[in-house]
A and B are shown apart, each in its own frame.
Chain A
Amino acid sequence: MFKKLILGTAAVAMLSGAQMMSASAEDMHYVPSLSYRTGPFAGGGIPVANGFSDYMNMLNARDGGIGGVKIVVEECETGYNSQKGVECYESTKGKGALVYNPMSTGITLQLVPKAPVDEIPVLSMGYGLSATAIGEKFPWGFNYPTTYWNQLSSILKYIDSKGGIKGKKIGFIYLDVGYGKEPIPLLDKLATSMGFTTAKFPVGVKEMQSQSSHWLNVRKERPDWMIMWGWGAMNSTAIKEAAKIKYPLDHFIGNWWSGADADLRPVGEVGKGYVAANFSGIGTDFPALQDVLKHVVDAGKSQVKDKSLVGDVLYNRGLFNAVIVAEAIAAAQKATGKKAITGADMRVGLETFDLSAARLKELGLEGFAAPVKASCSDHEGAGSVFLQQWNGSAWEKISDAIAPMNDVVRPLLEEAADKYTADKPDWKTQSC
């Protein structure tokens, strides 16, 4: 009996796989969204996924898609788990996917080597492998508008601007996974060149919500500034603990994944003064967002639970991600002259779009983010970040866009890119 059952299911599975293969996209822009609305990091995953799909749906509703072709966003649930992420990739890549937004550094690492083989670009917006910024080495990897490393350099520049950084002790508290560890080489490098010392506080995934000893150590080390590379439940816990040891929160700076509304809302008043980096606008005071509210949210096509969540930091992050994808699709259409494009065309689009200030205005997103200009060699756009501060109930922008230290970061990125490709003899590169 069982034999039959198993063979039966296998047959179904094989067939369904084949079906997926055959259903290719002629009349749509098929954009898979590897979202995570479950698991320990769902708090961050949900708004990003919502922002992403809502913007695309808005384009469909308002403009009839891009260049007359509808966009289909298919969410695939990864639970922030690399294995499921790969499974999602495998199950959707055959359907004519244009670009992958893995929404997780772990998954990005898995997809980067697959991208050239399957000829589908990977856009890891503000996460993932920083080295993919080097377009020559990573023709298929993108991380507009900026990388972690750039971001860190911007944050350090901000600290420097607040009374100098030389001789100071910078504490770095991070989620002890690939994502959190990524900027450490740059931090160490800049520590020598900028003349500060560091103290590092790794927080294991299991300790995310029980950080008292980490903050005891912070109290012991007494750093002048704290920088946080946190995610998910780690953020709010960290801020609470910081407040508990009476660490001055205005000297506590989170990166752009540690500054979401969802992180601070549970903290509330206690988190007042906490600073975080960001590269996408706050709130809904942009025409495009109003369109989203009008065409999507009010029309009941959004998965957002509450209208007030539109305009959240992470919602807008997801939306911005969608903007870049949409711009790239448009650019690809322009460059190739085709209406329906492929992954390879999309790559061209991702190297040619120009999200200038003017274009942003045109899109109804004036001032939403720093302009990004795509190029063949620069896959990050070297975007700037700004800083925002929690006032107890909402974020306030407290700085202008701070440009990264490109001169320092770029060589480091190149070095990392070389290292990455070193043991891959057939790695596809390009010259720009």
Chain B
Amino acid sequence: MFYREAGQYKTSYKADQAIFPIFQDRMAIVFYLLVAFVAIPYFGSDFFITSMMIPFLIFSLAAIGLNILVGYTGQISLGTGAFMGVGAYACYKMTSIFPDVNIIILIISSGIFSAAVGMIFGLPSLRIKGFYLVVTTLAAQFFLEWCFIRVPWLYNYNDSGAIEVPQREALGVIVTGASATPTTRYLIVLAIVVAMTWVASNIIHGRIGRSWMMIRDMDIAAELMGIRPLYAKLSAFAVSSFYCGVAGAMMVFFWLGAAEVESFDVNHSFLILFMVVIGGLGSLVGSFLGAAFIWILPVILRAIPDTIGLDINAATVEHINFMIIGGLIIFFLIVEPHGLARLWALAKQKLRVWPFPY
């Protein structure tokens, strides 16, 4: 309905290969960015920004990371939580060792560590497939969790065993620690997520992304086309873990403020996997939709009884929440196993062919 594609013809491959070849889509992106960068910081309450938007964005980034692995390369992983942890601990250590280096640079470079760890645990994927690979990644998950507890150097020998975010400034503004305003933290997270989403989209649409999808769709054929499984899989593990690592570092530095190992436990891996599957495998939009569904929906559900003045105790709400979310997950899988992204795409398609049904 909003789409007016007539007259949008391409006279060069550059235009035809663009990520958003349709004008209205480009406008929509601009609109979303305006909302995200201007409207939300201006109108959003602290609660909305800190408890909904920041975690939503961070989880979206992690979901993109996992989606690269699961959705684009077809390698199942349940180690996301731990890979996020690697990023968080790496960032914490680096800022302890180099307190003067800009924290944002450290956040990004912490991804390098998780990428390296991810590659190591990705090695078995060369021989192991499917659910069997789940076990390797679970091994990574539990082994790394154990490391986070058992290697006190990682948390600076803190008595609590937790990493606590020190206060850091960037460009003269306090960006981490409790004194950093929610808006500042939100804007940094948003900028990083937007930039990294853009990069992810570039990689996916290019040679490397294609090699991942080749491995995913038909690994044997891919190899016979000259794709080296080693490169393709490990690069997917590396990029995926990089994203998760950065998400993990941001989670601690811009959202939680402090974290124990439980922040990176296996439930976390499940949570992200949910986002990816519900959102839609092999879709960047899906990663955002999935994160929104899994993270924001419960927050809203929790707020509902209070908002409509229903006096149910918190525990019951939580129990019902669990049931609703579990039920919705099943419902969505039944109704649209390809996730929200497919629904999104269908809706978009509907709008494109409007008023026709197909």
Query: Would A177 and B261 be within 8 Å (CB), given that A91-B303, A129-B160, A424-B177 are in contact?
Result: yes
Contact B44 A14 (CB under 8 A): yes
Please, which residues of chain B bring their CB within 8 A of the CB of A298? none
Query: Would A2 and B340 be within 8 Å (CB), given that A16-B303, A91-B303, A178-B162 are in contact?
Result: yes
Contact B47 A110 (CB under 8 A): no
In the complex, whether A182 has a CB less than 8 A from a CB of chain B is yes
Please, which residues of chain A bring their CB within 8 A of the CB of B46? 17, 21, 90, 94
Secondary structure class of chain A's binding surface, majority of residues: helix
A251 to B166, CA, bound (A): 42
Contact A13 B300 (CB under 8 A): yes
Q: How many residues of A contact B (CB 8 A)?
A: 65
A115 to B322, CA, bound (A): 30
A86 to B171, CA, bound (A): 27
Query: Most chain-B Cβ atoms within 10 A of its Cβ — which of A87, A131, A420?
Result: A87
Contact B43 A14 (CB under 8 A): yes
Nearest CB on B from A385, distance (A)? 20
Contact A113 B51 (CB under 8 A): no
Nearest CB on B from A231, distance (A)? 12
Partner of B315, one of A1, A77, A177: A77
In the complex, whether B227 has a CB less than 8 A from a CB of chain A is no
Q: How many residues of B contact A (CB 8 A)?
A: 61
Across the interface, name the chain B residue whose C-beta is closest to A7: B35
A338 to B340, CA, bound (A): 53
Please, which residues of chain A bring their CB within 8 A of the CB of B40? 14
Please, which residues of chain B bring their CB within 8 A of the CB of A115? 178
In the complex, whether B328 has a CB less than 8 A from a CB of chain A is no
Number of A-B contacts (CB under 8 A): 163
Nearest CB on A from B28, distance (A)? 8
Please, which residues of chain A bring their CB within 8 A of the CB of B255? 86
In the complex, whether A283 has a CB less than 8 A from a CB of chain B is no
Nearest CB on A from B36, distance (A)? 10
Contact B259 A82 (CB under 8 A): yes
Query: Would A17 and B44 be within 8 Å (CB), given that A106-B260, A176-B149, A177-B262 are in contact?
Result: yes
Across the interface, name the chain A residue whose C-beta is closest to B318: A77
Across the interface, name the chain A residue whose C-beta is closest to B343: A2
Contact B52 A420 (CB under 8 A): no
In the complex, whether A377 has a CB less than 8 A from a CB of chain B is no
Nearest CB on A from B266, distance (A)? 8
Chain A 87-113 against B: per-residue CB contact (8 Å), 1 yes, 0 no? 100110010000000000110011011
Please, which residues of chain A bring their CB within 8 A of the CB of B318? 37-38, 77, 79
A327 to B55, CA, bound (A): 37
Query: Most chain-B Cβ atoms within 10 A of its Cβ — which of A46, A86, A90?
Result: A90
Please, which residues of chain A bring their CB within 8 A of the CB of B263? 82-83
Please, which residues of chain A bring their CB within 8 A of the CB of B313? 37, 75, 303
In the complex, whether B8 has a CB less than 8 A from a CB of chain A is no
In the complex, whether A245 has a CB less than 8 A from a CB of chain B is no
Query: Most chain-A Cβ atoms within 10 A of its Cβ — which of B48, B167, B314?
Result: B314
Chain B 162-181 against A: per-residue CB contact (8 Å), 1 yes, 0 no? 10111100000010011100
Nearest CB on A from B262, distance (A)? 6
A117 to B257, CA, bound (A): 13
Nearest CB on A from B31, distance (A)? 9
Please, which residues of chain B bring their CB within 8 A of the CB of A204? 146, 149
Query: Would A109 and B300 be within 8 Å (CB), given that A90-B51, A303-B313, A423-B96 are in contact?
Result: no
A131 to B162, CA, bound (A): 14
A109 to B161, CA, bound (A): 10
In the complex, whether B125 has a CB less than 8 A from a CB of chain A is no
Please, which residues of chain A bring their CB within 8 A of the CB of B319? 38
Nearest CB on B from A230, distance (A)? 16
Across the interface, name the chain A residue whose C-beta is closest to B146: A204
A105 to B260, CA, bound (A): 10
Chain B 128-158 against A: per-residue CB contact (8 Å), 1 yes, 0 no? 0000000000000010001001000000001
Contact B164 A420 (CB under 8 A): yes
Nearest CB on B from A35, distance (A)? 6
Query: Would A114 and B257 be within 8 Å (CB), given that A20-B47, A75-B314, A77-B318 are in contact?
Result: yes
In the complex, whether A205 has a CB less than 8 A from a CB of chain B is yes
A35 to B307, CA, bound (A): 20
Please, which residues of chain B bring their CB within 8 A of the CB of A431? none
Nearest CB on B from A201, distance (A)? 13
In the complex, whether B69 has a CB less than 8 A from a CB of chain A is no
Nearest CB on B from A3, distance (A)? 8
A46 to B317, CA, bound (A): 15
In the complex, whether A426 has a CB less than 8 A from a CB of chain B is yes
Across the interface, name the chain A residue whose C-beta is closest to B182: A90
Nearest CB on B from A297, distance (A)? 15
Known A90-B51, A423-B99; further 6 A-B contacts with Cβ < 8 A: A16-B307, A82-B259, A83-B256, A94-B46, A105-B160, A109-B260
- Residues of B that sit less than 8 Å from A by CB: 28, 35, 40, 43-48, 50-52, 55, 96, 99, 142, 146, 149, 158-162, 164-167, 174, 177-179, 255-263, 265, 289, 292, 296, 299-300, 302-303, 307, 313-315, 317-319, 322, 340, 343-344, 347, 350
14 contacts between A and B (CB under 8 A): A2-B340, A6-B292, A14-B43, A18-B45, A38-B318, A75-B315, A79-B318, A82-B260, A91-B51, A114-B178, A115-B178, A116-B178, A177-B149, A420-B164
**Closest 4 pairs between A and B when the two form their complex, measured CB to CB:** A37-B315, A17-B45, A113-B178, A423-B166
- Residues of A that sit less than 8 Å from B by CB: 1-3, 6-7, 9-10, 12-14, 16-21, 35, 37-38, 46, 75-77, 79, 81-83, 86-87, 90-91, 94, 105-106, 109-110, 112-117, 129-131, 176-178, 181-182, 184-185, 202, 204-206, 303, 416, 419-420, 423-427
